[in-house]
Structure 1
């Protein structure tokens, strides 16, 4: 590992000032992803600015009925919070599915959003990778890609985003708040992650040196009946090969509102807007659910060894929405 300096920030303004004056510094929350990448030589910051002790560790109800989640809230505290479990159960389930208890106790909400792909070529500094070294190529396209993207990829990168939490946040229209040396700002999660295009090394729309300070979940009555389902290759904690965050409002057998987001299929959480549009006003049955999934997956461009994800996501949509429909009828 490269030698690095360490400073503990005492307030938000001080933290962003430190990064503003040192472009080779990085914020450190729980370190569950950053430290691993430093050990592998992928990340090589000259200085770490520890933000874990900043007063951003609260979950509060917003005046409009939503929730305000501080950036240093741990994943464990987020999943256990009564209002998260009551109002946005799919979010609590996603966090619990994401990692072991030990990691959840360390990992922070802000850091979770910024974790980087687990693509083996990205984490191997001896291999070319456009995300790590722009212009060097994407060997996954011709190589190992069974768990890579089927939606929104490009010829420059087919890696997937690893976060479970971000998939649920995408389904519920979360907004990310941040602070820079020039003042505060906000980004809807739908705009937070950049498309791959020909610049896969540019992953988020955060301004340079920005510190995530929190996440706002707007009120979403549909979210009270929601579920997160994750498929992985082993029962112990592993990254998804496909996942879904779904919420459903059914009245008199008709879908009145629905939220859908997919994980492990793109470089960012994939909000399934085409499927949602197809479902609103449609009968709440397996045929409609399958047709909606097909509408979304029509844009899929699988590689030779990950086409199974199309069938997997289709089956997840039908299964989870059927379960929610049955639950609504009880």
Structure 2
């Protein structure tokens, strides 16, 4: 069945065939060869009872087809696995079994793998995840990093190449408040284990972070020069204890060599922070498109002699080539 109006006309057609007739209104409508163009929605439109809504929306700058069903949860349509390169890993929960990876080499882990059992307490505890916990020695780290970098910002041309859509879900799970803790989740050129540095000083990186001087999450980024961190505000606490589930989306358009879109969602509250990072000089404010990047996620106790924990839920990255 094609598209059709929910209301039908009871009028008879008139004599002027150049006008839209009631029968034209009542007929099923078929899209022409130009396709159906949808405006990009700014919010996720809730469907009426018994219906689902299909629409387009930008995710960190990536415009994709989405839908909202009867459960009220919005979903992004999956790209064709035979046409795009897709890689992901997702934790099984209730075990120390490492995340199973598809389409990408497995990362190296920091800290001790720790089972996180399902519990009904909140969204974090209901989520299947695995924790990596540092030692209590000051300067200790926990998390995951890749030793192979395979992604880059876009390379405009015919065709456009490079670029990526990266989505990571995680939660902070320190057993107790750790003063001055640091954290980075995102993309970086580094293929070595993280060290105890302020994330806002990182170069050739883009992601979300906890810095030692703020209790709010920050967007940190830089190419050859680290840029000023963007404070996401009090709706994005950086050091809550197994209370906040976060999703980071990063999008580097294959047709642009100087932009990365970001979207940070606090899934348990619905708070969203999003924007676009633009390099006035490609390679300076953001990594050059000849610089290979990889995913990484780490947390550090900095100078406090208490363990930190980082719960890893899922990693996803897709490219057009």
Rg (Cα) greater in structure: 2
Q: Report the TM-score, using the length of structure 2 for normalisation.
A: 0.27
Structure number with the higher strand fraction is: 2
Greater length-normalized contact order (CA 8 Å, ≥ 6 residues apart): 2
Structure 1 length-normalised TM = 0.26
